[in-house]
Amino acid sequence: MRLIIAEKPSLARAIADALPGASKRGDGAIHVGDTIVTWCLGHLLEQAAPDTYDPAYKQWRLDHLPIVPARWKLVPRSNARGQLKVLRGLLKQADEVVHAGDPDREGQLLVQEVIEYLGWKGPVSRLLINDLNRPAVRHALTRLEDNATYHSLYQAAETRSRADWLYGINLSRAWTLTGRQAGHDGVFSVGRVQTPVLGLVVRRDQAIARFTPRPFHVLWADFKVAQGVVRGWWQPGDVHPLDDQGRLLDPRPARELAARLPGAEGTLSQLESRDKRQVAPLPYSLSALQVDAARRYKLSAKTVLDTCQSLYERHRLITYPRSDCRYLPDAHWQAARETLGRACAQDPTLAGWLAGADFSLRSKAWSDKRVGAHHALAPTGATADLSRLSTTEANVFRLIARNVLAQFYPALQTREIKAEFSVLDEHFRAQGQEVLVPGWKPLFTTRDEAPLLPPLQEGESAKVIDQAVEDRETRPPEPFTDASLIKAMMNIARYVDDPAVKRTLRDTDGLGTEATRAGILETLLDRRYLVRQGSALRATRIGQALIDALPDAATRPERTAIWEQRLRAIAEGDDQAAPFMTNLVADLHTLLAGADAQRMRQALGDADGFEPAPAGRGRGKASRRRSSSPAGGRGTEKSGSGKRTARSRRPRRTQDA
């Protein structure tokens, strides 16, 4: 008997539907001929609690730290015992096993760890499925590989799981106990990903709070030329007081010049034009989709992820969503006319875009060399009736389909124009854009992103017909939103100060993964380290205090970004797990030495973040108020039975994904 173990029930059903023969549903499995398809429910196993290794660890004490297991143990999750029993029984009957976890690091881990935990010693094949449509699943079933090929991927995922346990357990205990000494009645959760993300928000909030607006002044003039009117902006020279960005600090020169401008005659002294060609944006990775959906539809990262999972598992309209790749296989280009035709035909918006597509075009998006375990999000080719989807599902599907359709549109071609006017021995600049070929752009926006200028001729006369001085102020940085924070997590090198570390980080490195970024934001919200204010994400008082109390290195992105590099190297067979873990334990000793009650007490007293709304009243109506007590903030960690406090109950075990 062949046993196929899928990552989740929806994948198991898709596999069973693709197998020849009638299927029969059993207890935790589907029987199809001599094949049985069963499933996990996500992770059925988890890292054992510290007291599993030593009962003394039930009590949280600083002198126990760091806790480092000599031999790692996994235990069943509370809701997994029934399905594990089913799997154990099926493995006893099996002649061969097929691993059908999702095609990524965690998918490799969660099925393989169950196979090993239950003691299977026989052969294991690997089934990789990116698309739940029946033809795609049938094709994948003909291309089984040896699971041993993915052993390094499993090692990387296992190393990540153990490293996160070590980091989260030890630092959370240390700073919870330090917080207790400082008077804070609650749990502080520290993680190698969530804490640097919180640090980004805290530092942005602090920059906003410290910001002092500075006035500056601009002078514009409208010039009448032969075929229209052009607005130019005065370019004050170095003889005037300017800031480091060339902004005028003293309004008097601008006002004196403005008084002389009415009716003044000048010339268009310099005219430059440059033709530009811009190809369509690539198809989406999950994070890129989350950024665009947050900007366009104000959707949270978690909402986008959940919507994509629904479009993938329930509706089978899109390919595997938890992808970090923005390229598609060569074979998808050959089938695109048929695939997109079925996917887009029943929606008026998509059908209009489909009608304008030229399927003879081939963009750089189609590249087998750039596709790894995943490819970019794309329609599967199933007929999409968007009227039967929720509004959010329809909007997200249109975005995914649009970015693939855009590959069959010509490049956007524009002419960028810069003009300089000379009048009264002063210079005014104007710039604008002329669209030569709209290409793919109408699929993305109907607005012009730069002003259109009338036809201009260098040397022509220009007369001032209007002018004004505008008094402005510098603006503080914008608070983070879902879109900007996800983008920051994707491009974390921008937030790294160390030039040497910055150089080592590739554009694809980041905080978290496609599968975890949305969950990280929700975790910080659930633990009340962040609150939403409209679309903005702001740090709470307790969130700010935690960042201020931790060693700076634990709140910065460098460590976790380099972790991801090392884990990727392990996954690719270019590094080993043992040296990584040895370095981590040494690092923990250094970090734990920084746990200091006085620093925590000062951090709690100095914190001036945003208080979350009371539980049950939502997270969107936070008010900013200072607590008079260091323990006055909502820093406790919620569980199914309510709050856990450090004094009344044993603090809950905390780990970070």
- Residue 250 backbone phi and psi in degrees, to 5: -110, 120
- Lookup result for tokens 């480091």: 244
Closest listed residue to residue 604, CA positions, set 639, 647, 634, 643: 634
Burial of 256 (0-12, 13-18, 19+ CB in 10 A): exposed
- Lookup result for tokens 């002078």: 219
Interior CA angle at 433 toward 427 and 438, to 5°? 175
Measure the CA–CA gap between 207 and 480, rounded to whole angstroms: 12
- Read out DSSP for 186-243? SPPP--TTHHHHHHHHHHHHHHHHH----EEEEEEEEEEETTEEEEEEE---TTS-B-
Pairing of strands 215-225, 228-234: antiparallel
Interior CA angle at 515 toward 520 and 640, to 5°? 50
Task: Pick left, alpha or beta for residue 316 (phi over 0 → left; psi -120 to 50 → alpha; otherwise beta).
Answer: left
Greatest alpha-carbon span in the chain: 95
Pairing of strands 426-437, 35-39: unpaired
- Token pair of 428, please? 């005014």
For residue 489, give the 3-state DSSP assignment. Answer: helix
Measure the CA–CA gap between 131 and 79, rounded to whole angstroms: 28
Pairing of strands 124-126, 96-100: parallel
From 150, 320, 495, 529, active-site residue: 320
For residue 650, give the 3-state DSSP assignment. Answer: coil
CA distances from 498 to 44, 194, 501, 504, 558 (A): 40, 21, 5, 10, 9
- Lookup result for tokens 């509004």: 391
Q: What share of the chain is helix, strand, coil (3-state, %, to 5)?
A: 40, 20, 40
Q: Helices (DSSP H) in 54-150: which residue ranges?
A: 81-93, 105-117, 134-141
Q: Is 327 a catalytic residue?
A: no
- Token pair of 142, please? 């003909």
b/e map 168-203, b = 16+ CB within 10 Å? bbbbbbbbbbbbbebebbbbbbbbbbbbbbbbbbbb
619 close to 538: Cβ distance less than 8 angstroms: no
Catalytic residues: 320
